[in-house]
Amino acid sequence: MRRTTDDLRDALHDAADGTANPDVESLLTGARRRVAATRRRQLGALSVATAALVVAGGVVAGTLSTNQALPQPAGPGPSSVKAAVVDHAPSSTRPSPSSAPPSECDKTSRKKDTVVLPHWVDFVQLNGTQFTAEAGPGHPIASAHMGAVVGRVRCQLSALKLSELPGPSVDGDASFLPIGTELHSILGFEPSCRVAARFEGTNRVYLAQHDVDGSSTAVPCAKAP
């Protein structure tokens, strides 16, 4: 018996014709469910991407369950961050309300049941540039070396009870510097390279950062001559 391609065609069409009609509604429902599942996966991936973006913006964050404490700085740098429950910056480091500009932090949502616990890097953003404190204790400078005020902190991120990851940082954001803290130029450096801020009794130096091969590093002009 010879089998031809026509036999094959007939066999295929017979098989197809003999197939019961599907429940089209269930096909649609299944498709909708799969789209929803894909969407959930994409949102999950987006969250990861957001976290990566926030890392670039100066923090490393993760979500914890209810009533977790927020970190507050005990000193400069991420290694010195310790946990404490606070709603606002410590009064000892806060400027008086009359001198502090309105906080932009109020726009950040706060919920009581969940909180994001970020691991902050000591940074401040000014004129679109992120400045990161020198590693470790750094090299505090004398007040005589500080120049004009070039900006002020408008939001102390570490003082927030975050219920979601903050978006990319904006000008005036700082991790530990209290709201209203003045940012000064430093003599001998362009303000786009280095700034200084008085924090916990010392004049801390912040170095402008840029991305090199995906890593944040100090711009050349920020380095010591």
Query: Where along the sequence are the contacts to other proteins (CB under 8 A)?
Result: 1-17, 19-22, 24, 26-28, 30-36, 38-39, 42
Minimal distance, residue 26 CB to other proteins, in Å = 7
- Between residues 38 and 47, which has the closer beta carbon with respect to other proteins? 38
Give dist(CA 173, CA 14) in Å, integer. Answer: 70
What is residue 100's DSSP assignment? S
Residues present in the chain in total: 225
Give dist(CA 54, CA 59) in Å, integer. Answer: 6
- Between residues 1 and 148, which has the closer beta carbon with respect to other proteins? 1
- For the chain, the C-alpha Rg in angstroms (whole number) is 27
Minimal distance, residue 41 CB to other proteins, in Å = 11
Minimal distance, residue 47 CB to other proteins, in Å = 15
Dihedral, CA of residue 143, residue 148, residue 154 and residue 159, to nearest 10: -10
- Between residues 31 and 224, which has the closer beta carbon with respect to other proteins? 31
Minimal distance, residue 153 CB to other proteins, in Å = 38
Q: Is 200 exposed, middle or buried (0-12, 13-18, 19+ CB in 10 A)?
A: middle
Minimal distance, residue 114 CB to other proteins, in Å = 24
- Between residues 20 and 148, which has the closer beta carbon with respect to other proteins? 20
Q: Could you tell me the two tokens for 33?
A: 């469910």
- Between residues 24 and 142, which has the closer beta carbon with respect to other proteins? 24
Residue 117, strand partner residues: 62
The DSSP element (H or E) to which 194 belongs, if any, is strand 194-199
Q: Name the residue among 109, 120, 113, 110 with its Cα closest to residue 61.
A: 120
Minimal distance, residue 195 CB to other proteins, in Å = 42
- Between residues 1 and 142, which has the closer beta carbon with respect to other proteins? 1
Q: Beta-strand (E) ranges in 65-193?
A: 70-73, 81-84, 115-120, 123-126, 129-133, 146-152, 155-156, 173-174, 182-186
- Between residues 13 and 139, which has the closer beta carbon with respect to other proteins? 13
Minimal distance, residue 49 CB to other proteins, in Å = 16
